[in-house]
Structure 1
């Protein structure tokens, strides 16, 4: 399947999202065993906010990122636009 080429900013934004979400996964695992670590909770909340902001920016520029109601769709329905994030 062929898809349109994307600007370098597209790939950088996806990389930033992946990096922040990786930090969130690691902090989640840590907090599962250290639930009273106040600093870790603060870090988790900071990165959760960063993740939301980056995903909002991605969707504003490039369309929906998440399915099943986690992202809104523009008109017309844009889920068939490629490349999809998991294809790059």
Structure 2
């Protein structure tokens, strides 16, 4: 495997982990809307929220901004136009 392919595979793998964790957060959000007293679900939500934040921080350090509306800082020069964009992976 060439160096570039390895780098791309790492990027795709990291994005897949982010998507899996964020999907679980959406699912838990819906569950907690109807079961707000479920302590275990709240704990799991909080653990996944930290994991999501940490994975996104790693992604941004390696590949550039990921979160919009001030959730991510831009490098200089402005690097939001760099591609592929996260949703293109």
TM-score between the two structures when normalised by the length of structure 2: 0.90
Bigger helix fraction: 2
CA distance in 1, matches of 2:69, 2:43: 29
Aligned partner of 1:14 in structure 2 is 15
Tell me the C-alpha RMSD between the 2 structures. Answer: 1.5
SS of equivalent residue, structure 1 residue 31: helix
CA distance in 2, matches of 1:87, 1:56: 19
**Residue 48 (structure 1) shift:** 0.3
Aligned partner of 1:57 in structure 2 is 58
**Residue 68 (structure 1) shift:** 1.5
**Residue 87 (structure 1) shift:** 1.1
TM-score between the two structures when normalised by the length of structure 1: 0.91
SS of equivalent residue, structure 2 residue 31: helix
Aligned length: 85
Give unmatched runs, 5+ long, in structure 2. none
Indicate the structure whose relative CO is greater, using CA pairs within 8 Å and at least 6 residues apart. 1
Aligned partner of 2:25 in structure 1 is 24
